Structure 1
C-alpha cells in the first residue's frame, strides 16, 4: 500500500539518535583530567578519547552510503543504535584505558552511520524549498550536542564518577531502538550494492594513519620514525582509496560529487568550521582546567551559553536560508567567527570567566549561520540519486577534518609550549598560538565563502512531496 511519511516520528527518532551519538564526541572533554589521574596517562594519549571517536566515525561514514542503499531505514537505525549501546556499556564498565578506548571505538562505529542517515532521510522527505528549515534541525544537533557535552560532563564530574556519563545516555539509546522496531518507516531506495573490502581497508588505514601520525608529533616530534611511518602510510593508503573509487563501477564513496562547484566549496567550509568548533571545545577546557584551575563544571559552563545560542539559531538560519540562500549567511557568519576567535589568542593568567563565555557565545552565533546553510546549499546542487553519497562525503570530510585538526591544534599547543622560553606561562602561550591557527583558517573560510552562490535547480528531479510504498511487514 502507499502511504506518506510520518515526518514527525521519523524526525524525532533520527534527531534523538543522532543527538546522543554526536554528544559523545565531546562528552569526555572535561572528564579527561580525572581519567588521566585515575589511569595515569598523558594528555596526548587522553586526547584519543575524543579524537578516536571522530576518526572511527569518519571511517564509518564513507560506508554509510553503501548501508543506506543496502538496508532499510529501520534496519540501519536499529543496528547503528544497537552497536552504539554495546559500546556505551563497555565504556561504563571499562577497568582500564585500553578497554575504555575499545568501547569508544565500538560506540563510534554505530554513531558514524547516524548523521548521514539523518541528513539523507531529511533531504528525501522534505521538498527543496523546505530543506533549509529541516536541515536547521540537523544543525541544532551538530552544533548543540558537542557544545553541551563539556557542560554536562563537567556537572556530572562534580557529583559522580565519569562512568555516569555513559549510564545516562544508555536509556535514551535503548528507548529509541524499541520505538523504531514498531514505528519507523523506510525512506530510502534499496539498490542492494556490494561492499568493496579493499576500499574499507584503504580508508581505515588512510584516516587512521594520518590521525595517529599527527598525534605522534606531539609525543615524539616530527623526525621520529613512528611519526614518519604513520603519516606515510596514511597518505599512501588514502591515495589508493581515492584512486580505487574512480575505477570502481559502484564506488563506496562517489568522489564525482566534487564535479559540482558549490558542493565542493561548501564541503571545504564545513571542514574549516567544524575543525574550529571541535578544536575550540578542546582547547578551552584544557586552558581553564589545567592552566587556570577552574573546575570541570565551570569549564563546561563557559561553553554552554554558546551551545544554547547555536541551538536556538540553527532552525532560524535554516528558514532564512530557504528565502535568501547561503552566500551572505556564510560570509557574515565566518566574519563573526574570525573576529571572535582573535580574543582567544590573548588569553593570560587573569582572563575572566565572562570574557571566555561571551566571546565563545558570539562565535557560536556566527557558526549557526554557516554550518547547515552551506551544507544544504551544497547538497541541493546534487541530483537525488547522489544525495546518499553527498551526505556521506560531507560528513566524512567534516569528521576527519575535526579529528586531524584537533590533533594538529593540540600538537601546536604542546610543541609551542615546549619551545617557548621567553614567556611567563608557556602552556597558555601554546593555547594562544593554537587559536591563532584557528583564526587563520577562519579567514581562509571567509574568502572561500565569497565564491558560494545559490545553485540552479533546473537540472534536478522535480521537487515535490514524495510518497513511499511500504511493505506490509517491512524489516
Structure 2
C-alpha cells in the first residue's frame, strides 16, 4: 500500500494510541486477584476494574460522533491521550482502591475516543480502494491488543507488581502524546453543531445500563435485578434515545446510517461475530485454569500464537479486502473460525495442550480474515459526511454485542453444566465444567455458521463497480 509520509505518520500515531487503549481492556483480568488481595476487597468491588472501564468506554462512544465533528482532530486526540495518560499515572500510584478505580475511569474517558476517531480519520485519508489496507493496520490495535493482554499481564504480574501494568504503559502513552503534538494534523472539516445534552444523558443511562446488566450476567443469575433490571432499563432508555435522535433537529447520533443496506448487513454479521468471539474467547482460559488447573501465565501462552497471527496478518487481510472485497473473504474467515472453534469443543480432560493452541490459532486466523474487512465494508457503504456517526454506531453495537455475547455464553455454560450434573451425580466437578465449556464452544461455532449464511447478502466487488 503506497501512502504519503503524512498519512503514515498519522496512522502510526493513531494505531499506537488505540493499541494501548484496547490493551487496557484485558490487562486487568489476570491481575485482579492480586489487586483484590492488596486492597482487601471482594469480587463485587474488584469486577469494577474491568466492568467500570468498559462502561465508561461504551458510554463515551456515541458522544465521539459529536466531538469528532465539533472539535479538530488534533485537539480531540491530544485531549483523549492526555486523559488516558493522567488516568494511567493515577492508577499506577493509587494508594487505595477508590483512587485506583478513579484512575481507571479517567483512562476509559480517553480510550473511548480512540477507536471511532481512528476509523473516521482513515476513511478521510484514504480512497475507497486503499481503505482495506489501512484498516488492516488498525486491526493490529483492535484485535491483537486484547488478545495480547492476558499473556502480557500474566508475565508482568508473575515477575513484578500489578502496578507495572500501568507504569509500563504510562511512558508509552506520554511518548504518543508528544508525537501527536508535533506530527498530528487536522483531518476533515469542523462543524458548528448544537450539543444535545438530553441525548447524552439518555445514551449514557441506556448504554451504561445495558452494558452493566450484561456484564453482571457473567457472575450473577438472570433472575437478579442487577441483571434483568438493568437490561430492561437499558432497553427502555436506549429506545427513548433512538426516538429522540430520530425527532430532534441536530441529533447526537445520526440514525440516517441505518438507511444504507450494506452498512446494516455488515453490522449484523459483526454482531454475530462479536457474540461468538468474545463469549467463546472466555471459555479457553476457563478450560485451561479450572479444568486443566494450569497457571494464568500458561493459559496466556496458549492464547499467544493466535494473538501473533492476528498481528502479522491484519495488514494482509486489509490488502485482500482491497483486491477481492468482503463477501468471499468473510465467508472463508468465518468458516475457518468455526473449524477452530469445533476443535476447541472436542477437547477432553487429557487432550494435549498443543490441541488447544492449534484450535485457538485456527480460530484467530479465521477472525483476522473477517473482522477488519467486514468493518471496512460497513464504513465504505457510507458517505464521508456520515462517517463519524457510522463509526460511533458500529463501535457501540460492537461493544454491546461483545458484552451480551459473553453473558449469554456464560449462561449457556452454567446451565448446561448444572443440567449435566443433575443427570451424572457421580461425575467429578472438572468433568461437569468441561461439559459446559464444550457445549458453549459448539454454540459459538454454530453462531459462526449463521454469520457465514449472512455473507450471502453482501455484494461482490464486481457488483459494486
What TM-score does the superposition give when structure 1 sets the normalisation length? 0.89
Q: 1:225 to 1:30 in 2, by over 3 A?
A: closer
Q: What does residue 311 of structure 1 align with?
A: 311
- How much has 1:242 moved relative to structure 2? 0.9
When structure 1 is superposed on structure 2, of 298-307 and 26-35 the one drifting more is: 26-35
Cα deviation digits, residues 290-322 of structure 1 (max 9, x gap): 332222221111111111111211111111111
Query: Which residue matches 1:138?
Result: 138
Q: 1:23-422 counterparts in 2 under 5 A?
A: 23-39=23-39, 46-418=46-418, 420-421=420-421, 422=424
1:214-270, Cα deviation, whole Å (9 max, x unpaired): 344455523334433222211110111111111122211122211111111111222
Q: Where do 5+ consecutive residues of structure 2 fail to align?
A: none
Aligned to 1:472: none
CA RMSD of superposed structures (Å): 2.3
Gaps of 5+ in 1: 459-475
- Bigger Cα displacement from structure 2, 430-439 vs 397-406: 430-439
Retained in 1: the 8 A contact 2:279–2:408? no
In structure 2, the CA distance between the partners of 1:96 and 1:368, relative to structure 1 (3 Å rule), is: same
CA contact (8 A) 1:54 1:403 kept: no
Q: CA deviation at 1:87?
A: 1.8
Structure number with higher helix proportion = 2
Q: Displacement, 1:36?
A: 4.7
Matched residue SS, 1:102: helix
Determine the C-alpha separation between the residues in 2 that align with 1:39 and 1:429: 35
* CA distances 1:115-147 after superposition (whole Å, capped 9, x unpaired): 111111111111111111111111122111111
Check whether the contact 1:84–1:107 (CA below 8 A) recurs between aligned residues.
yes
CA distance in 2 between partners of 1:32 and 1:420 (Å)? 30
Shift of the 302–36 alpha-carbon distance from structure 1 to 2, 3 Å rule, reads: farther
Which of the pair has the greater relative contact order for Cα pairs under 8 Å at 6+ separation? 1
Question: Is the 1:89–1:166 Cα contact (8 Å) retained in structure 2?
Answer: yes
Stretch of structure 1 that moved more, 230-239 or 29-38: 29-38
User: Structure 1's 275 and 93: CA in aligned 2 closer, same or farther, altered over 3 A?
Assistant: farther
Distance in 1 of aligned mates of 2:102 and 2:415: 28
CA displacement 1:40-68 (0-9 Å, x = unmatched): 66667655433433332222111111111
Deviation at 1:418, TM superposition (A): 4.7
43-52 or 136-145: bigger deviation: 43-52
Total equivalences in the alignment: 455
Aligned match of 1:441: 447
Q: Quote how far apart the aligned CAs of 1:327 are.
A: 0.1
**Residues 271 and 398, structure 1, Cα contact 8 Å, conserved in 2:** yes
Q: What TM-score, normalized to structure 2?
A: 0.91
